[in-house]
Every structure is written in C-alpha cells, then in structure tokens.
Amino acid sequence: MKNLTRIKGDASFRKFFRKKNHNYTSIVVFAKKEKFKNLLVYDAINKILNKNEVLAPNLYEENYNKNYIEIQDFGNETIFNKLNKKKNNKLNYFKKIINLLNKIQLIRSRKIKNFKNKNYEIPKYDKKILIREANLFCDWYVKKHLSKSTKDKFSKEFKKIIKDLTSNLRLKNNFFVHRDFHVSNLMIVNNQIGLIDSQDALIGNRAYDLASLIDDVRLKTSKSFKKKIFNFYVKKQKKLDIYKFKNDFETLSILRNLKIIGIFTRLAIRDGKKNYLKLIPYAWKLIELRINENKVFHDLKNLLNKNFKKKIK
C-alpha cells in the first residue's frame, strides 16, 4: 500500500499508518493478532457509536483477509495533549467529557451488522471478567516482585478478597462501557470530541468509565479536582443512588488500577514495551487514594500493606 507513514501505536497488537489520499488522509489499522476484536469488533462498536451521534471513526475500506481496515483520520490532537498545555481550562474540558459520557450511557442499541454482514452484539461485563482482569496483578506484578512461597499465599488471599469485592458491587450491568475512557482516547475533531480505541466495549456498570476518566493513570489531577468531576457527573444524573454508585466507583477504580499494574508489567516482560512501567507508581497512588475511603477495602489494604509496604500506607 502506497503513501503510508507509520504513526505512534498503543499497548495493543495493532499497527497504525496514516495514508495520504488525493485531498484527505485516512488511518490504516493493521492487526494480525486478535484481528477479530481489533478490526471487526472495533468497526462494529464505532458504527453503534455513530448511530447514536457519538463521533467515532467511519470505515472507508476493509481487507480482513489481509489484516487491515482503513478508517477516518481524527488527526493528532488528543484532549490529553490539550490538558498538558498549562493555559487550558481543565475543568471546562472535563465538563464536556462528562456530557459526552452521559450521551454514551444513553445508548440502548447493543446489536449491529459488522462489515462481514454478521450480527454483532456487545457482550456483558460480568463479574468473571472483572475478577480475571484484577488477577493480572497476581499473574505478572506479584509474580515478578514476590518470592514463590509468598506469591502463592498472597494470590490465594487476594483472589478471595477480589471475589468478595465484586460480589459487593451494587449497580446493574446495563450501560454501554467503553472500558478505556480517558483523555488519551478522546480527540478534538472540528471542535467536537471524537472517541477512539473502542474495541473492548462491553455492557456493564455505569461507574466504570467515570472511574477510568477520573482515576486515569496517565493524567495526574488533585484529589479536589477528582471530587469536582465526580460531583459534576452525579448532579447530572436522575434517580442515582449515590451510596451504591460511590461504592461501585471506588471498587472499580481499585480493580482497574490493579489490572493496569498487571498489564503494564506484562507489556514490559512479554512484549518489551517498557515505557509503561513509569506509570505504575501513580497507579499505586490511585489505589491508595480509593482504598482509604471505604471500610469495605480493609482486608485488601492490609494484604497490600503487608506485602507492598512502600506502595500502600
């Protein structure tokens, strides 16, 4: 394929190229590994988003046999880049993002025909998946940092606690969840916000995407700022049980950041992508922040404090 320039990728197995056409550019996404999810599902989710007036990349061309799709180019301006410029008003951007999240959470269509003309239905984000994801912390980070005998004992206790915490989630799994909803996946496109990297979307807990936005490992914000965004979201909701929601928000934030620590360790060990390791200390800080807010995390806090003293106080 001519006129292709390799552009920065992400933590997935995909490769991205910008293609120069006569009067516009497009993005070519290559994926040999996990290509069903990274090509077919990605486009199907984008179709559902666009159908519901949430801006996502349109499909221009697909060649599934040759492991690529060609999609709309949203440019290079992520909200993450905008927020890193000191003069920008963080709060205004986050309010716009919350408005977008509200729109996403109104999505009720779960089925769509993919480009192979087969029905795709967004799966449920059940407790088994949440538990499996949190266990990545044991599989990679704990395995690397604790001795075998300590690791086995830790893992057994950790898995029991995680199972209890997921059983304590209060809200139903009935909302569209992007699962990687943070400012690096939100693009400025002609004064609108466009959403990328949606291939992992599931139907789950409405607190999850807010937790990934507010407790984002890539963007450091103060505790008071996090609270402002949380309250702004809550005030926009009708018939929201604030106590159940806060419980689930804190639990999902902790589970997500434990998963992230596991994934970033795996990326370094398995895939040689060591640049993500520098984000792990802030992931620990985010876990520490939430773990101190609710007695339900008492056992988890003690276990982490016992084995990773410098991380959790």
For range 73-101, the mean pLDDT: 91
Residue 132 lies in a domain: yes
Residue 180 lies in a domain: yes
Residue 65 lies in a domain: no
Query: Which pLDDT tens digit goes with each residue over 23-60?
Result: 999 999 999 999 999 999 999 999 999 999 999 999 99
Residue 9 lies in a domain: no
Residue 10 in this model has a pLDDT that exceeds 80: no
Confidence bin at 7 (pLDDT 50/70/90): confident
Percent pLDDT > 70 in the chain is: 98
Confidence bin at 204 (pLDDT 50/70/90): very high
pLDDT value for 22: 86
Count of structural domains, the chain: 1
Residue 158 lies in a domain: yes
Residue 8 lies in a domain: no
Residue 21 lies in a domain: no
pLDDT value for 1: 63
Confidence bin at 16 (pLDDT 50/70/90): very high
Residue 286 lies in a domain: yes
Residue 11 in this model has a pLDDT that exceeds 70: no
For range 75-101, the mean pLDDT: 90
Residue 287 in this model has a pLDDT that exceeds 80: yes
pLDDT value for 161: 98
pLDDT value for 312: 76
Prediction pTM value = 0.95
Asked if 198 contacts 90 with a C-beta cutoff of 8 angstroms, the reply is no
pLDDT value for 8: 79
Percent pLDDT > 90 in the chain is: 88
The per-residue pLDDT of the chain, averaged, comes to 94
Residue 85 in this model has a pLDDT that exceeds 90: no
State the DSSP string of the chain.
Answer: --SEEEE---SSS-EEEEEE-SS-EEEEEE-STTHIIIIIIHHHHHHHHHHTT---PPEEEEEGGGTEEEEE---S-BHHHHHTSTTS-HHHHHHHHHHHHHHHTT----EEE-TTS-EEEPPB--HHHHHHHHTHIIIIIIHHHS-HHHHHHHHHHHHHHHHHHHHT--S-S-EEE-S--SGGGEEEETTEEEE---TT-EEE-THHHHHHHHT-TTS---HHHHHHHHHHHHHT-SS--HHHHHHHHHHHHHHHHHHHHHHHHHHHHHH--GGGGGGHHHHHHHHHHHHTS-GGGHHHHHHHHHH-TTT--
Which one is predicted more confidently, 3 or 252? 252
For range 189-210, the mean pLDDT: 96
For range 266-282, the mean pLDDT: 94
Output the domain CATH number for residue 227: 3.90.1200.10
Residue 86 in this model has a pLDDT that exceeds 90: no
Instruction: Please give the residue range of the domain that contains residue 170.
Output: 77-307
